Chain A
């Protein structure tokens, strides 16, 4: 299922994460299901922990990997409703949630994704999203006000 090139790329992703100080994140291999995923705990500036989870799709790196927040679950908005209920939202920079309600962060849209983007950048965007989320919780203002729509960079 996975090509040698894909395997090399995934190993590279893991090494870059470790080399660039993202040691709280790792790429894991599930040998029984022959799948890969990247996950770890992100700690916000305020010291709160968020679980991040990236199931690596079979078309990676050409196919965009989704980024989910696994903990806390459910992730609530300032008004108490779950973020996942919004679905695809510009206000909160989210995409379709998982079937069990995990919020999917919009790091890159499909129309902007390309295979030169490293998972390190995806995690970096997730960290930015989390900081903006905490600002949203504190102020009640939409998350989009704290995160500019990210211009495309390679």
Chain B
């Protein structure tokens, strides 16, 4: 109860004190509306115009919440020292004091508290003290704590405010048993505590699924995501604005611990690439179920390959663009179609992904044709996340009896489709209205869709034999592959140190350049000046490393020259008069053998000419195709 009326506040404090000090069963507190105050009356007496306030209503008032498990762990110390200190988060202007160790996210305001036995003087500076008084055992009283030695203690907290002590109700929280009680009957308490879930991709859907599984009691999580939480994520992601900048794996880890403090969470802020596949393979091998919430195909196919290899069930979820709908694919290796089968069977559906960030857009866009970032609403993604969780949960419970087992007959399809709206421009644009449809496809329904495994699937089938048979190839008799071709000196990594250019302009252009004293930069990666003879030497401050034939080095250098800064005309011809290059020695280059005859040290190469222009555009007189740049044309 929160109020700004000092009289009301004082009245509530008095009531709290009365509640804290009263002996159960003899009196009860009532709020007398006529007197506008709280009074104590005998149990059983009638107070027709009064609002009864019982001890169960104490949580309406300020209260202290203390961890039973923590106190049990500290019991040897408290019996020895007669006290133990603890930190308390102060919430809502002192309306609630929650022991910091209960959760991972403390309040901005933290109080120093002391738990002590009755009669023990508190240390100086104590802002909140919880006094333990021996009492008769009472299993149901939340303010009673049963010590490891079996003795019961009743707790009353006192805080000092304006040099006066105020009593605050105390509640002991035995977190895990109380959480388990809420799942009893559906999940049979600790049935999931030994299960391990690997969550790959912690966007809106993946993070929500992980948190929902934590609420269900899953005991082990491994989280993989390389991204950090950004401000834009907050409108969809369970993480809040105060978490911005943190790795999503850490944000979700804390959210999981807020829901299931005993969960073991391992985080890996790594990118999902083929370079990391060995680490990922290890993580998958240790998982009971994999939830893949990534939004790009390469990562899904990588996870698919590794999960099929490891024979681990994977559930893939994703929203369509602008989250007009979504789909979930559940892959039971070698039993149901894998993601590769899905891509082969339904390529367009498999390609319809949400563009929720500039990174996603960049993955599918060309630089000259950007793709708009059009994320969907959180409320459109959540149904997919919930279904993702449910399918993962069924897989986790596959070998255990539970009340959810009856769902196995309903959720036996490999692919599930959900539509939030009849999105214009899609095949679902003309869906009938929800109210007018009886057996037609509509929005806001899950559809389980069946399709077969691909026998020639490269992941779960026998692609190689099938293709070899179809082409009439006998792989057992196929000869060895050719070894790589050797190139004479292509294995040298030349570091070009300087280049001499000659520019040949038309006479008119040359005069114009000289008149303008155009001594300006004309190259993108170097800073040459043009002298009166139109010759220049370019010194590279950072020498480009060029692994190629010396004859092609000059052409590559030419290609780096920008003509845009010469405003009047392009030169007719550009000559690379020569260049100095430095070979640091023998280096291996992919695809080529190292050549031990490669020289060390600097070497000057002679003239090489190169036409910057295409060969007489649109005439082709030289016989080469129009515009084809060929050396020695």
Nearest CB on A from B630, distance (A): 6
A111 touches B588 (CB 8 A): no
| CB of B369 closer than 8 Å to a CB of A | yes
B483 touches A28 (CB 8 A): yes
Nearest CB on A from B390, distance (A): 28
Q: Which of B158-166, B251-259, B550-558 contacts A (4 or more CB under 8 A)?
A: B550-558
Chain B hits for A153, CB < 8 A: 347
Chain B minimum-CB-distance residue to A9:
B464
Also in contact, A78 and B614, with CB within 8 A (given A12-B475, A55-B591): yes
A20 touches B471 (CB 8 A): yes
Also in contact, A82 and B368, with CB within 8 A (given A35-B591, A138-B626): no
Contact of B629 among A26, A57, A74, A115 (CB under 8 A): A74
Contact of A86 among B368, B472, B555, B613 (CB under 8 A): B368
Q: Which of B39-47, B455-463, B528-536, B601-609 contacts A (4 or more CB under 8 A)?
A: B455-463
A154 touches B344 (CB 8 A): yes
Q: Is the interface of A mostly helix, strand, loop or mixed?
A: loop
Closest 5 interchain pairs by CB?
A59-B274, A137-B627, A74-B559, A90-B366, A115-B458
Tell me the B residues contacting A by CB distance below 8 Å.
274, 277, 296-298, 301-302, 305, 340, 343-344, 347-348, 351, 353, 363-369, 456-459, 463-464, 467-468, 471-473, 475, 478, 480-485, 545-548, 552, 555-556, 558-560, 563, 570, 588, 590-594, 612-614, 617-618, 624-631
Chain A hits for B344, CB < 8 A: 114, 116, 154
Also in contact, A62 and B274, with CB within 8 A (given A74-B556, A78-B614): yes
Q: Is the interface of B mostly helix, strand, loop or mixed?
A: loop
Chain A hits for B297, CB < 8 A: 110-114
B628 touches A28 (CB 8 A): no
A55 touches B483 (CB 8 A): no
B472 touches A61 (CB 8 A): no
Chain B minimum-CB-distance residue to A109:
B364
Chain B minimum-CB-distance residue to A92:
B368
| CB of A36 closer than 8 Å to a CB of B | yes
A59 touches B302 (CB 8 A): yes
Nearest CB on A from B420, distance (A): 22
Chain B hits for A14, CB < 8 A: 478, 481
Also in contact, A90 and B368, with CB within 8 A (given A28-B485, A33-B591, A63-B298): yes
CA distance A138 to B297 in the complex (A): 37
B628 touches A137 (CB 8 A): yes
Chain B hits for A48, CB < 8 A: 624-625, 628
Nearest CB on B from A38, distance (A): 10
A111 touches B591 (CB 8 A): no
Also in contact, A114 and B343, with CB within 8 A (given A12-B475, A62-B302, A138-B626): yes
CA distance A9 to B353 in the complex (A): 29
Also in contact, A30 and B483, with CB within 8 A (given A59-B277, A63-B274, A84-B559): yes
CA distance A82 to B363 in the complex (A): 24
Nearest CB on A from B499, distance (A): 15
Contact of A31 among B274, B340, B364, B483 (CB under 8 A): B483
CA distance A153 to B594 in the complex (A): 40
Chain A hits for B366, CB < 8 A: 88-91
CA distance A57 to B298 in the complex (A): 14
CA distance A101 to B301 in the complex (A): 30
Contact of B482 among A26, A75, A118 (CB under 8 A): A26
A11 touches B478 (CB 8 A): yes
Query: Would you list which residues of chain A between 69 and 84 have a CB under 8 Å from chain B?
Result: 72-76, 78, 80-82, 84
Chain B hits for A11, CB < 8 A: 475, 478, 481
Contact of A80 among B475, B485, B591, B612 (CB under 8 A): B612
B274 touches A88 (CB 8 A): no
Q: Would you mind naming 13 contact pairs between A and B with Cβ atoms under 8 Å apart?
A: A12-B464, A27-B482, A30-B592, A31-B483, A74-B555, A74-B556, A89-B366, A90-B369, A100-B546, A101-B556, A114-B343, A138-B626, A152-B348
Interface-centre pick from B475, B618, B626, B628 (highest chain A CB count, 10 A): B628
CA distance A113 to B344 in the complex (A): 10
Nearest CB on A from B548, distance (A): 6
Nearest CB on A from B29, distance (A): 66
Interface-centre pick from B348, B366, B467, B570 (highest chain A CB count, 10 A): B366
B301 touches A37 (CB 8 A): no
CA distance A56 to B311 in the complex (A): 27
CA distance A152 to B302 in the complex (A): 19
A138 touches B464 (CB 8 A): no
Q: A30-B483, A73-B559 are in contact. List 14 more A-B contacts (CB 8 A).
A: A10-B481, A12-B467, A19-B473, A30-B590, A30-B591, A48-B628, A63-B298, A73-B555, A76-B629, A80-B613, A90-B366, A109-B364, A110-B298, A113-B297
Chain B hits for A107, CB < 8 A: none
Chain A hits for B343, CB < 8 A: 114
Nearest CB on B from A13, distance (A): 10
Chain B hits for A118, CB < 8 A: 467
